[in-house]
């Protein structure tokens, strides 16, 4: 197992995982982070399970080059399909975003009717359904795939009439089911939270899986005595497989300011 002062590794299919990075920086401000975004092969949400597992294995192998002490699978799609395989093949602690989000939703729901929005692959995997059922079998889960949410975020259209219309169209079936809690099951979706809030109203609790995951990461690091000793300033590195300039531009939108270099990498060549 790697030392306490080694970085945390985070991977995502592209840019959305930066919402998880932001939560980690807020909750674990002394920890260094190595982020890998597979921007050349995004999106994962439309691909088969075998492809998603293959890509995820390659992403972990890349991050291990940096001696990371744990790995956060920031991608909901990879967490849904690849997590058991990753934990089977690698000894480093690996944390996904599904269980933390499900745990928070079960804690928040009052009428036991929870909605999940995500990519088609995440919704089809029923990973959130299974995680919620394990926690409370009496809960009803209603899912909706929202393929236009990611391009809206990456174009910066997170508010306004067009965004609101798209969000309202996708969420209408869930509102008809009288959900009182909604899991934002894709790392891009927290950037749409203000518009989603306007559509669903104040009575529906929104769950940001990335925010919840940061708490799980702290617990895993503390349990393995891997929290940094705090005697160093964190250093962050960002790697992408395509379009580093675009990543930097959009990354500023996610983090306020992208603190660290953006480098191009080809881990699967």
Residue pLDDT, tens place only, 204-220: 999 998 888 999 999 99
Residue from 70, 145, 146, 186 carrying the catalytic annotation:
186
Q: Is residue 62 part of a domain?
A: yes
Q: pLDDT category, 1, cuts 50, 70, 90?
A: very low
Higher pLDDT, 130 or 258: 130
Instruction: Kindly state the average pLDDT of the residues 234-243.
Output: 92
Same domain membership, residue 240 and residue 148:
no
Residue 158 in domain: yes
Q: In this structure, are 251 and 202 located in the same domain?
A: no
d(CA 58, CA 56): 5
Residue 17 lies in a domain: yes
Among residues 70, 75, 145, 146, the one annotated as catalytic is: 75
CATH number at residue 184: 3.40.50.1860
Residue for token digits 């991608």? 75
Query: Are residues 168 and 43 both part of a single domain?
Result: no
Is 186 one of the annotated active-site residues of the chain? yes
Provide the whole-model pTM: 0.91
Coil, strand or helix at 262 = strand
Residue ranges with strand state E in 54-200: 70-73, 94-95, 113-118, 140-145, 181-185
At residue 132, the pLDDT reads 98
Among 181, 209, 237, the domain-final residue is 209
Residue 194 lies in a domain: yes
Q: Which residue has the higher pLDDT, 160 or 257?
A: 160
Structure confidence at residue 254 (pLDDT): 80
Residues 173 and 254 in one domain: no
Q: Are residues 55 and 86 in the same domain?
A: yes
Considering the domain architecture, whether residues 197 and 119 belong to the same structural domain is answered as yes
Q: Are residues 105 and 236 in the same domain?
A: no
Tell whether the model's pLDDT for residue 32 goes beyond 60: yes
Is 224 found in the same domain as 91? yes
Residues 108 and 233 in one domain: no
The number of distinct structural domains making up the chain is 2
pLDDT at 56 over 70: yes
69: which DSSP letter? S
Q: Are residues 221 and 129 in the same domain?
A: no
Burial 160-191 (b: 16+ CB within 10 A, else e): eeebeebbeebbeebbeeebbbbbbbbbbbbb
The predicted structure's pLDDT at residue 256: 77
Question: Residue 106's domain spans which residues?
Answer: 98-209
Cβ-contact 69, 3 below 8 angstroms: yes
Q: Are residues 102 and 156 in the same domain?
A: yes
Last residue of a domain, one of 209, 224, 246: 209
């Amino acid at each position: 197992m790697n030392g306490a002062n080694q970085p945390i590794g985070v991977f995502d299919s592209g840019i959305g995982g930066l919402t998880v990075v932001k939560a980690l920086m807020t909750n674990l401000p002394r920890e260094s982070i190595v982020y890998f975004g597979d921007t050349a092969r995004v999106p994962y949400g439309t691909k088969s399970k075998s492809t998603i597992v293959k890509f995820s294995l390659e992403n972990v192998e890349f991050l291990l080059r940096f001696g990371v002490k744990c790995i956060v699978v920031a991608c909901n799609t990879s967490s849904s399909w690849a997590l058991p395989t990753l934990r089977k093949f690698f000894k480093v602690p690996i944390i996904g975003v599904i269980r933390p989000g499900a745990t928070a939703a079960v804690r928040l729901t009052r009428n036991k009717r929870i909605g999940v929005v995500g990519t088609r692959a995440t919704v089809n995997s029923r990973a959130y359904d299974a995680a919620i059922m394990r926690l409370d079998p009496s809960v009803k889960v209603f899912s909706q795939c929202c393929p236009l949410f990611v391009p809206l975020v990456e174009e910066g259209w997170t508010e306004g009439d067009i965004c609101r219309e798209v969000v309202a169209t996708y969420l209408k079936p869930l509102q008809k089911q009288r959900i009182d809690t909604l899991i934002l099951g894709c790392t891009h979706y927290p950037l749409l939270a203000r518009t989603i809030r306007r559509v669903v109203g104040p009575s529906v609790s929104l769950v940001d899986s990335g925010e919840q995951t940061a708490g799980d990461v702290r617990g895993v690091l503390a349990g393995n005595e891997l929290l940094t000793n705090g005697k160093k300033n964190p250093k962050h590195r960002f790697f992408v497989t395509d379009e580093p300039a675009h990543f930097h531009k959009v990354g500023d939108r996610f983090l306020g300011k992208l603190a660290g270099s953006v480098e191009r990498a080809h881990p699967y060549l």
